[in-house]
């Protein structure tokens, strides 16, 4: 495992980090949002334990109807080697949430507030941030950050949020949006840690891989983009992806996509959501080779990006189509 | 330990202040001399040495470490005629121990006296007469005696302090203040309980003290160090919306209620409001407290013993699992509802955060280093915690800071006023 320092915090984060999202196959409705079913929870706990064994040291999770408890149980044995990253997912008072987390986890390593979209922060958001800063000053949290999907807010955070340690934002080879031309240089100048969320575009990048049927979940068809609807439109592109990947027999498109993030030295970590053993294995294996992308990998990714963009938003699941706002 | 050392007056020992914590032997020696009686203390020869005091690792030397002729020069600032016995004025340290002033010869371990020093004898007489007049509340008589003593030893801090006290008692009215009682601080002669004319703003005197500032508990409050805080007045309550609007028509508070503390106030807003107050109230001198003053008041008053309980506990109960409560579920309460602390101050902990004048810089606190300069873009310190902070975090030593123009919903103010000098 490779570890990088999170901004100026002194925390070393594994390049592959663990996003504990709610898998659609194992979700049930909660008062707010969805939570995992009991079966899903047990499955994720096993996967998290495996990830920790592989050297993954950062797990990101949010509280919803007591779903922190299983995470706390899994990380307990390795608490001193694990960074727990928590967030405020729903409108709630950050101070209470942190105090509750501190009791459960012993301490909170990272805490972020999710801000949706906008050009700047309103009074309530600034109040949330103020509470977060004080929690850090009081030693309850070691690093504080935000997650957002809006570059305007990312840039505003660098300007307006005192003590910002890190930003989590959508970053993958398709949605790099000219590499966030305004945000990234400023973040680097301030020494802010950067964590890529959606590095595999909510799992949709697997759909761009013509060999996905063999390497991914066999029971589902992930190769819809190669069906009749798009193939005639972009024969050259599909051919290019196929050829490029043929020259990479040991690598999937998802691995190349993750290595796109890994190879960017300014990125602290990539945090794909993981729910299946094979995704963890694939994501981990992508780090075991040279981080710099080869010409074939770059060619495959370039072609895949063209294909994804040409389909408008069809390649993304309906609830993740906001990602396409990031196309450069 | 020598018998004379064992008999050292503990009150004198205390008078050496912070120096006695490390330099025990030197202070013991000093207590056996006559210097404590005439208020010649460590800092008179070694300077205030604040850097030395603040540096626990002893990497900073005292302001002055006189040797040889420099010692004689210091002696000569009072003993202008030189040694009463030998008339020697250049090598005092060759006979006299620099702290104990004893004869160094074996078998002659006797204490030197100032009996031959006519000036010191006269000084003692004026000081005694001054205290006698003060005991009879003859403030004008006391003032004359202390002034006479000060004229004899112009650099004597004790005489200067007593003169100031007598002057204040002889002239008890402070412009802009209305006395609410006839209780006065015996050390400074200042009225203890006052209010700002026409504004209903009650203020309490916070006496001068050496403050052990900071705490090892909080990362931003380290290291603990000693700071001298002069006497000042501090409002008993956080400023209410009623008081705010009496001076400035616009109420910035999110939750409008004249009885509630004004909140949503930036440091710049607070300074503007105080400038208007100074224009309106005779004598002026109103300001935000420095963070050292704020902490001195909170610590001295024992802030929190009552305020930490009752109201805050009621509002800090954790919601049931999965029940998400938003920031709006919290709000400030009318100041003064809970019990006051020992200085008569209310809500020093909790309710609204209180702006201080100080820029947020690392400790040790050193006022002359520019942190009290109002210009510049540095973050400004806030103290005391707010209504939405958890109970365990309310601590008078905890420091928070924010931009000068930031108006967080829980930022309010508590007004301070400098003590007018004679």
In-domain check, residue B106 = no
Write out residues in chain B with pLDDT < 70, as ranges: 1-9, 56-57, 59, 100-117, 303-329
Q: If residue B12 lies in a helix (H) or strand (E), which one and from where to where? A: helix B10-15
What whole-number distance in Å separates Cα of residue B325 and Cα of residue A208? 42
| pTM recorded for the entire structure | 0.79
* Chain B residues touching residue A30 (CB < 8 angstroms): 322
Residue extents of the structural domains in chain A: 3-201+252-291
Which three-class secondary structure string do you get for A76-92? HCCHHHCEEEEEECCCC
Q: Both B132 and B220 in a single domain?
A: no
Instruction: Find the mean pLDDT for residues A201-209.
Output: 76
pLDDT (0 to 100) of residue B100: 64
Q: Are the Cβ atoms of B399 and A127 closer than 8 angstroms?
A: no
What whole-number distance in Å separates Cα of residue A316 and Cα of residue A118? 23
Nearest residue in A to B254, CA atom: A123
What whole-number distance in Å separates Cα of residue B294 and Cα of residue B416? 9
pLDDT band at A215 (very low <50, low <70, confident <90, very high): very low
In-domain check, residue B257 = yes
Q: Does B406 touch chain A (CB under 8 A)?
A: yes
Instruction: Find the mean pLDDT for residues A58-72.
Output: 83
Nearest residue in A to B397, CA atom: A138
Q: What is the span of the domain harbouring residue B394?
A: 177-418
Looking at domain A3-201+252-291, its CATH architecture is: Alpha-Beta Barrel (3.20)
pLDDT (0 to 100) of residue A32: 73
Q: Is A44 helix (H, G, I), strand (E, B) or coil?
A: helix
Chain B window 293-332: which residues touch A at a Cβ cutoff of 8 Å? 318-319, 321-322, 324-327, 329-330
In-domain check, residue B100 = no
Q: What is the ipTM metric for this complex?
A: 0.81
Q: What is the pLDDT of residues A233-259, one digit of tens each?
A: 666 777 777 777 778 878 888 888 899
In-domain check, residue B225 = yes
How crowded is residue A297: how many other Cβ atoms within 10 Å of its Cβ? 23
In-domain check, residue B371 = yes
ω before A31 within 30° of 0 (cis)? no
In-domain check, residue B101 = no
Looking at the 3D structure of chain B, how many domains does it have? 3
Q: Both B140 and B256 in a single domain?
A: no
Nearest residue in A to B402, CA atom: A162
pLDDT (0 to 100) of residue A165: 97
Q: Both B79 and B199 in a single domain?
A: no
Q: Is B177 helix (H, G, I), strand (E, B) or coil?
A: strand
CATH number for the domain harbouring residue B369: 3.90.1580.10
Q: How far is B383 from chain A (nearest CA, A)?
A: 11
């Amino acid at each position: 495992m490779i570890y990088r320092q999170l901004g100026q915090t002194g925390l070393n984060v594994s390049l592959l980090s663990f996003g504990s999202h709610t898998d659609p196959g194992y979700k049930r409705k909660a008062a707010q949002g969805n939570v995992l079913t009991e079966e899903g929870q047990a499955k994720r706990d096993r996967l998290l334990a495996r990830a920790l064994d592989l050297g993954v040291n950062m797990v990101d999770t949010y509280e919803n109807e007591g779903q922190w408890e299983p995470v706390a149980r899994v990380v307990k044995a390795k608490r001193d080697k694990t960074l727990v990253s928590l967030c405020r997912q729903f409108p709630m008072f950050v101070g209470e949430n942190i105090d509750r987390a501190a009791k459960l986890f012993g301490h909170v390593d990272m805490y972020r507030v999710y801000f949706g979209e906008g050009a700047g922060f309103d009074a309530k958001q600034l109040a949330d941030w103020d509470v977060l800063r004080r929690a850090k000053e009081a030693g309850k949290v070691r690093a504080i950050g935000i997650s957002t999907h809006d570059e305007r807010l990312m840039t505003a955070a660098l300007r307006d949020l005192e003590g910002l340690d890190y930003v989590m934002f959508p970053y993958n080879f398709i949605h790099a949006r000219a590499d966030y031309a305004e945000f990234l240089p400023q973040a680097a100048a301030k020494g802010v840690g950067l964590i890529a969320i959606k590095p595999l575009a909510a799992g949709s990048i697997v759909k761009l891989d013509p060999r996905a049927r063999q390497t991914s979940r066999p029971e589902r068809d992930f190769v819809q983009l190669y069906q009749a609807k798009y193939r005639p439109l972009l024969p050259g592109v599909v051919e290019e992806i196929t050829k490029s990947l043929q020259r990479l027999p040991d690598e999937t498109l998802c691995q190349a996509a993750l290595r796109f993030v890994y190879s960017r030295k300014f990125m602290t970590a990539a945090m794909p959501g993981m729910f299946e053993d094979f995704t963890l294995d694939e994501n981990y294996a992508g780090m075991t080779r040279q981080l710099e992308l080869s010409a074939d990998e770059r060619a495959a990714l370039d072609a895949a990006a063209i294909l994804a963009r040409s389909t408008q938003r069809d390649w993304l699941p309906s609830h993740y189509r906001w990602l396409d706002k990031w196309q450069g | 330990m020598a018998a004379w050392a064992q008999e050292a007056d503990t009150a004198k020992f205390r008078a050496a202040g912070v120096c006695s914590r490390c330099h025990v032997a030197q202070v013991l020696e000093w207590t056996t001399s006559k210097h404590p009686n005439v208020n010649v203390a460590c800092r008179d020869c070694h300077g205030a040495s604040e850097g030395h005091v603040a540096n626990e690792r002893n990497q900073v030397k005292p302001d002055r470490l006189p040797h040889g002729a420099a010692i004689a020069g210091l002696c000569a600032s009072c003993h202008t005629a030189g040694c009463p016995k030998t008339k020697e004025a250049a090598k005092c340290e060759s006979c006299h121990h620099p702290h104990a002033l004893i004869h160094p010869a074996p078998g002659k371990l006797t204490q030197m006296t100032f009996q031959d020093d006519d000036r010191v004898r006269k000084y003692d007489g004026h000081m005694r007469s001054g205290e006698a007049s003060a005991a009879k509340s003859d403030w004008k008589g006391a003032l004359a005696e202390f002034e006479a003593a000060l004229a004899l030893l112009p650099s004597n801090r004790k005489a200067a302090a007593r003169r100031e006290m007598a002057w204040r008692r002889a002239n008890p009215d402070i412009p802009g203040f209305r006395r609410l009682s006839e209780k006065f601080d015996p050390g400074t002669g200042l009225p203890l309980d006052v209010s700002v004319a026409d504004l209903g703003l009650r203020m309490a005197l916070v006496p001068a003290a050496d403050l052990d500032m900071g705490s090892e508990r909080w990362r931003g409050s380290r290291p603990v160090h000693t700071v001298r805080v002069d006497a000042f007045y501090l409002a008993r309550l956080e400023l209410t919306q009623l008081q705010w609007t009496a001076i400035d028509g616009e109420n910035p508070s999110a939750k409008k209620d004249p009885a509630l503390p004004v909140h949503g106030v930036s440091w710049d807003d607070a300074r503007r409001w105080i400038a208007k107050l100074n224009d309106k109230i005779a004598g002026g001198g109103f300001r935000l407290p420095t963070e050292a003053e704020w902490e001195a008041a909170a610590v001295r008053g024992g802030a929190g013993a009552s305020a930490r309980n009752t109201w805050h506990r009621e509002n800090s109960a954790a919601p049931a699992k999965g029940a998400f409560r938003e920031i709006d579920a919290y709000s400030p309460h009318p100041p003064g509802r809970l019990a006051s602390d020992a200085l008569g101050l209310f809500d020093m902990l909790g309710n609204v955060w209180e702006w201080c004048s100080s820029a947020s810089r690392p400790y040790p606190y050193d006022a002359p280093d520019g942190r009290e300069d109002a210009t510049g873009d540095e973050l400004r310190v806030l103290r005391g915690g707010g209504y939405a902070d958890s109970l365990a975090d309310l601590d008078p030593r905890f420091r928070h800071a924010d931009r000068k123009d930031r108006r967080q919903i829980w930022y309010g103010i508590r007004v301070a006023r400098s003590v007018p000098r004679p």
